[in-house]
Structure 1
Amino acid sequence: MKTKHLKIRLPHYYLIFQGYNDMYDQIIEKFRNSLQTIGEHSSWLEKAEKGIKICNKTISKLKKLVEKEDFESVTEEIYFFKHIKPIPMSYLIFYSEVRSCEHLKPKAGNSFQVRFLEKELKKVNKFFQKNNDFVIYMEQNHNYIDHQLFTRDHSSNYPFTPIPNYYQYPEFSSSHGMLWAKVQAMYKYIHYIRESIQCLQPGSKSLFSDKKHALLKWSGSKTSLVELIYALYSVGYLNHGTADLNMIASSFEDYFNIKLDNIYKTYSEIKARKENRTKFLTELQDHLENKMCQEDR
């Protein structure tokens, strides 16, 4: 199996190291591009149906590739089950939860629907409480027991029982890879619930807002904020790279009390700049450098 350094521009967890095959990364890159084709103005149920198909197709490709090529080292195996497979798997779990929620949600009465969604939030909180130690281990970027959590040699003790569509196969699963995917899925699910409640209660206070947020107002241009959002998305430093553009943009809108109309169109305009396409990021860098130089003097 030929190997080489990773060169494609993907979130930060695509670490560069010798010996990892970039075929997996090409599949993930195509997967992310496919997700962007899901209609922005489609209903959540439509998004879920389309998303599940894309996820299943991607996971099947990864499974066939693993069966054909396998891994050349334990390091590669850990990397795959910790950083590669959980990407489409987390979206599969997320879209499956959304589809289930949309079907089970009361059909009439905003108050009944809000109450149902609030119960869903409680379920999410219980999930995080139950798996608190594992979540802390992952979010603190620990790796001292990765060989137990993310290799197939230790796959007999699964932390929870997934539904069949989650592709639980011994030769294609580690003991905690599925749990890590579900953790990431639940972060997305929280965002979905928040959006749903806000649609049912327009003008209501955000579930995650507090008084401190009201003190911060974005006073720069909306184009600059979109540039910052895309930069954060591209580097993958939010929710371990699993936060999508809509989630990041919506969070910024809530935090800074601003409405961003069409971030995709704005991004296209930024890309079309003839000189210095990252104008705002360059400005940030220049200001920080000047501040440091002044303090040094």
Structure 2
Amino acid sequence: MLQVHISQEALEVILNVLDDIKKKTVHHKFENQYDEILFFKYTKPKFVSKLIYYNQIYKIETRKPYGGERVLRKYLLKELNKLKRFFDDQLEFYKYYRTGSTYLDHKYFVRNKHDIKLNLSTRYFETDHRFSTSHDYIVAKILANDLIEVFLEDQLHGLERDEIKTVKIPKSKMNWTGSKTALIELVYALYASGYINNNNADIKLIALTFEKMFNIDLGDYYRNFLAIRIRKKGRTQFLQELQEDLIRYMDSQDE
């Protein structure tokens, strides 16, 4: 298994690099708090995220069940759902980090400045606080999950190629003239409803069907969906507009 061997070799290299970085960091005095924040918010997580990524890929590959396409698909979707659960658990911090906020950096990314009220992971209390802050590992986990998600999506895409080939959709003369984000919101609404194929339709298959139907490339719709999820208000903005449009149309027909 190529991925297993690659992961093993990568883990050995990264562990050695991190060990060297730790030895230097614990004896290093940062010139100011800003430099310390930069290191624990951006530099260290880049290395730790690769450690998390290759370790998780190793586990995913070595635990793959034997069986047909259905069994493997179920396994991969379960792994994908683990990433989504982490996202849900860390939603507030995810929004803070992804929006480039800095007002809590002095608590998140400075050693021995943790705040018990800021949703601390139990893992933090077991780490070496000379080389850890309360949230640098969470940043690394976010970065790693981005890569793991791509890996899992690629695996699922490989399983779906044959299934997609069987989807016969005649060339459409209809074009989507709204925003991609609006259509992605609709696609996910249908996926979440479970009304397609008795809740057995994969999100990629639904998205592909809409792409063919309306002659549009939705691009990285999962990433776009994450942006929809962290909207401050109006997470279902397009669906609400659709409801209002339909009600207006019904009212006009009653006149």
For Structure 1 versus Structure 2, the TM-score category normalised by the shorter chain is 0.5 to 0.7
| Structure 2 counterpart of 1:85, one-letter code | K
Residue 116 (1) aligns with residue 117 (2): no
Change (3 A) 1:49 1:144: same
Which of these residues, 150, 155, 160, is aligned with residue 109 of structure 2?
150
Given candidates 80, 85, 98, the residue that maps to 1:139 is: 98
Q: CA 1:54–1:207 in structure 2 vs 1: closer, same or farther (change >3 Å)?
A: farther
Residue 203 (structure 1) shift: 4.1
Residue ranges of structure 1 left out of the alignment (5+ in a row): 1-41, 218-297
Q: Judging changes above 3 Å, is the alpha-carbon distance between structure 1 residues 96 and 143 closer, same or farther for their aligned structure 2 residues?
A: same
Q: After the TM superposition, which residues 1-297 of structure 1 pair with which residues of structure 2 at under 5 Å, given as runs?
A: 43-155=2-114, 157=116, 159-162=120-123, 168-204=127-163, 209-210=207-208, 211-212=210-211, 215-216=216-217
Contact 2:112 2:129 in 1 (8 A): no
CA contact (8 A) 1:93 1:182 kept: yes
Q: Is the 8 A contact 1:198 1:204 kept in 2?
A: no
1:68 is displaced (CA, Å) by 2.8
Moved over 6 A (4+): none
Once the two structures are superposed, residues 269-291 of structure 1 have per-residue CA deviations (whole angstroms, 9 ceiling, x without a partner) of: xxxxxxxxxxxxxxxxxxxxxxx
Q: Which has the larger radius of gyration?
A: 2
Q: Is contact 1:152-1:174 (8 Å) kept? A: yes
Deviations 1:248-296 (A, max 9, x none): xxxxxxxxxxxxxxxxxxxxxxxxxxxxxxxxxxxxxxxxxxxxxxxxx
Q: CA deviation at 1:162?
A: 4.8
| C-alpha spacing 1:168/1:51, structure 2 compared with 1 (3 Å) | farther
Deviation at 1:201, TM superposition (A): 3.3
Q: Paired residue for 2:238?
A: none
Identical positions, percent: 24
Deviation at 1:63, TM superposition (A): 0.7
Equivalent position SS for 1:154:
coil
> Contact 1:155 / 1:170 at 8 angstroms: preserved in 2?
no
Comparing 51-60 with 208-217, which one deviates more in the overlay? 208-217
What is the rounded CA distance, in whole Å, between the counterparts of 2:123 and 2:147 in structure 1? 18
Query: What is the alpha-carbon root mean square deviation over aligned residues?
Result: 2.7
Deviations 1:17-72 (A, max 9, x none): xxxxxxxxxxxxxxxxxxxxxxxxx7221221122112212211211111232311
Q: Indicate if the aligned counterparts of 2:107 and 2:115 stay in contact, CA closer than 8 A.
A: no
Instruction: Give CA-to-partner distance per residue, 1:106-161, whole Å, 9 cap, x none.
Output: 03322211101111111111110111000000010000010000010224757334
Q: Give the 3 Å change call, closer, same or farther, for CA 212–201 of structure 1 in structure 2.
A: closer
* Structure 2: gaps of 5 or more residues: 165-201, 219-255
For 1:152, the aligned partner's letter is R
Q: Residue 75 of structure 2: SS of its match in structure 1?
A: helix
1:20: which partner in 2? none
Describe the superposition over 1:137-189 as per-residue Cα deviations: whole angstroms up to 9, x where unpaired: 001000001000001022475733459xxx93210000000011101111111
Structure-2 change in CA distance of 1:45 and 1:156 (3 Å): farther
Which amino acid letter does the alignment assign opposite residue 171 of structure 1? R
Change (3 A) 1:132 1:204: farther
